[in-house]
Every structure is written in structure tokens, then in C-alpha cells.
Amino acid sequence: MEPLSLRITEIFHSIQGESLSAGVPTVFVRLTGCPLRCNYCDTAYAFEGGERYTIAALVEQVVGYRCPQVCITGGEPLAQPNVLALMTALADTGLALSIETSGALPIGPVDDRVRVVLDLKTPGSGELARNLYDNIELLKPSDEVKFVLCDRADYDWASLMLDRYQLVERVAAVHFSPSQGELDPAELAEWILADRLAVRLQLQQHKVIWGDRQGV
């Protein structure tokens, strides 16, 4: 029987640019492949290609960075079912894990020790129909929800989701992130303040530091 393996685009050590861990040194494991095609995607290079690693080799490499924080990302990491075994194996080593997922695939099988950062797709993403809303009921109090906003219509839709699913009360944080080059962060900040929303305005710290460079 062949050992479990995954197709990986890149593994790198960087500063986490998003979520409640923003600013924290983190090891990123970027899986290859994604069933979505969001209009603002900035990781299209991960749609195909990559190299195949066994889970044992991945764990050894990640542990070798001697960094306690690990982020599983993509692409869409849950598109490769063996990622579930990888996360359990990494969590067993004592590392703190998060997974960045579009929410288009079920999060129920994800190890409870992994913090889920669920990216609900807005109308402006072009992938609104792919949202699996049943995932919201499975979110833990330690999880997070993210909206990437392209315009006012996206903001209004995300605000409606806040109320409909009581997201602020359900999870550790809700992030409103302006799509780079489409929505002015200052304008989004004014909307949030005017409506007294209990959300976090999220900018991508890694892009502030390094721009659009890959692998950071």
C-alpha cells in the first residue's frame, strides 16, 4: 500500500498577513488545485503543477522550520482529501494549525485542533453559488470568517450575512478585507464605522511588506 501523499505548490516560512495571527511568523503549506475561480484570486499559480510529497515528508519539513504556527492554504486545500490526515499528523506534533478554506467544501472532517478561517464568497467574487452554508453551523468559537469585498454591494451582502448567521457571536473574529485595487480600504473603513459593525478591517500585511511577490 502506497503512503498517503499530497500535491504541494510551495512550503515557506513567512509573516502571516491575515487572520487573528496577522504579524506572526508562520510556516505555510500551499496545496495545489482549486475548484473555484474567484475574480480577484492572487494564487492562480497554485491551480496546477506542484510536487507530490508523502505526509511523513511534509511533517518532517514543516517541523524542521522550528516555528510553532502553521497555515494550510491553497488553492483550496480541502480539494485534496489527504489534507485531513496531514493536519492531524501536524497537530499531533504540538504545532498550532490553521486552514484557509473557501467554504465550498465540507469542513466537518477537519480535526478540531485546527482553526478554520472560512472565506465566504461574495457576489463580486463570481463564486457566490459555491458557498456551502451548512459549514457555518460547524464553525467553532475559535474559528474565523473572512469576506473579500469588491464594492458596496459586497459590503451590504456581507453585512446581511453577519445578521442572518449571527457571525460575530459565533466565531472569534469576522474580517472584512478589501479586494486589492478594487475597493479603497479607507472607504471600507468609513462604512464599517458608520454602521458600527463589530468586524475587523483586514489588510494583507504580507503585500504591504513584499508586494505581490510569490512565496511570502
Over residues 101-127, the pLDDT tens digits come to 998 999 999 999 999 999 999 999 999
pLDDT of residue 112: 98
pLDDT of residue 204: 81
In a domain, 56, yes or no: yes
Q: Stretch 140-149: mean pLDDT, rounded? A: 98
Task: Tell me the pTM.
Answer: 0.94
141: CATH? 3.20.20.70
In a domain, 215, yes or no: no
Give the cell for residue 181: 485595487
Report the domain count for the chain: 1
In a domain, 118, yes or no: yes
Q: Stretch 31-53: mean pLDDT, rounded? A: 95
E strands in 51-153: 51-54, 69-73, 96-101, 114-120, 144-149
In a domain, 13, yes or no: yes
Percent of the chain with pLDDT strictly greater than 70: 98
CA distances to 156, 160, 168 from 171, rounded to whole Å, are 20, 16, 6
pLDDT of residue 209: 75
pLDDT at 169 over 70: yes
Nearest to 29 by CA among 59, 68, 66: 59
- Domain holding 11, by residue range, is 5-210
pLDDT at 69 over 80: yes
Distance CA 179, CA 177 (A): 6
Contact 80, 86 (CB under 8 A): no
pLDDT of residue 215: 65
In a domain, 126, yes or no: yes
Give the cell for residue 52: 507530490
Nearest to 167 by CA among 138, 193, 189, 136: 136
Percent of the chain with pLDDT strictly greater than 90: 91
Amino acid at 66: R
CA distances to 50, 81, 89, 92, 211 from 24, rounded to whole Å, are 26, 28, 22, 21, 18
Q: Which phi and psi angles does 49 have, rounded to 5°?
A: 85, -135
**Residue 84, SS3?**
helix
Contact 151, 183 (CB under 8 A): yes
More confident residue, 73 or 216: 73
In a domain, 216, yes or no: no
